[in-house]
């Protein structure tokens, strides 16, 4: 039996072996090995990130996926996902790290970054999700493409932050799909 893989998957396997960045956004498994860096941005680690946050003015963006209701859960059965813990002051935009965004999500992400940075493309912008996760790499690359000049990719993710013994706080998701008037739709982004 001969396997034929789609071109993005063929390229991604070769890229992973070579440790290079893909030319566009990552469309493969979000938990696949990630590159060591990001063209146009900077990799940052927990202690340096803590210092950046303490200096103030940085915008912290979490692009972790939102929990999904389990398949097969009986209709009307209660489901209460755990609270989402994030870096202090983080804005949580689930879905902004996907390789291919809907026009609505792209517009939402761009507008929320614009609002959070008060329109200053030199504002330090830190993007993260989980360790070894392509979602944050994609979202950081997208921010670089929007013209942000000081984009930091926190590739160690929330796990690296927790391992360093640093504090977290509970945040609510913000998305273009949130009903009008909900916390998720109206939450005001805040910088650090």
Question: What is the residue extent of each domain of the chain?
Answer: 38-67+81-178
Confidence at residue 181, expressed as pLDDT on a 0 to 100 scale: 44
CB-based contact 167:86 (threshold 8 Å): no
What pLDDT is recorded for position 74? 82
Q: Judge if pTM exceeds 0.85.
A: no
pLDDT at res. 93? 97
**What b-and-e string marks burial along 126-160, b requiring 16 or more CB atoms within 10 Å of the CB?**
bbbbbbbbbbbbbbbbbbbebebebbbbbbbbbeb
Question: By C-alpha distance, which of 29, 32, 39 is closest to 132?
Answer: 32
pLDDT confidence of residue 186: 37
The Cα–Cα gap between 128 and 42 comes to: 12
pLDDT tens per residue across all 192 residues of the chain: 444 434 444 344 444 444 689 989 999 999 999 999 999 999 999 999 999 999 999 999 999 998 787 788 788 888 777 899 999 999 999 999 999 999 999 999 999 999 999 999 999 999 999 998 999 999 999 999 999 999 999 999 999 999 999 999 999 999 898 654 444 443 333 333
Contacts of 116 by beta carbon, 8 Å cutoff, 6+ apart: 59, 61, 91, 123, 189, 190, 191
Q: Which CATH superfamily is domain 38-67+81-178 in?
A: Rhodanese-like domain (3.40.250.10)
Q: Which of 48, 51, 127 is nearest to 92 (CA)?
A: 127
Contact 136, 86 (CB under 8 A): no
Sign of CA dihedral 97, 58, 176, 104: negative
């Amino acid at each position: 039996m001969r396997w034929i893989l789609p071109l993005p998957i063929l390229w991604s396997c070769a890229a992973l072996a070579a440790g290079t960045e893909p030319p566009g956004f990552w469309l493969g498994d979000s938990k696949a090995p990630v590159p060591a860096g990001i063209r146009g941005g900077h990799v940052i680690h927990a202690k340096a990130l803590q210092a950046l946050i303490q200096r103030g003015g940085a915008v912290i963006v979490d692009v972790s996926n939102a929990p999904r209701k389990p398949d097969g859960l009986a209709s009307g059965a209660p489901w209460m996902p755990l609270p989402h813990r994030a870096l202090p002051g983080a804005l949580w935009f689930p879905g902004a790290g996907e390789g291919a965004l809907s026009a609505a999500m792209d517009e939402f992400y761009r507008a929320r970054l614009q609002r959070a940075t008060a329109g200053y493309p030199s504002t330090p912008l830190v993007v993260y999700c989980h360790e070894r996760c392509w979602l944050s790499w994609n979202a950081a690359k997208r921010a670089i493409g929007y013209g942000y000049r000081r984009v930091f990719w926190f590739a160690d993710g929330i796990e690296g932050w927790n391992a360093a013994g640093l504090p977290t706080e509970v945040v609510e998701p913000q998305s273009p799909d949130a009903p009008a008037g909900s916390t998720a739709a109206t939450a005001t982004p805040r910088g650090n």
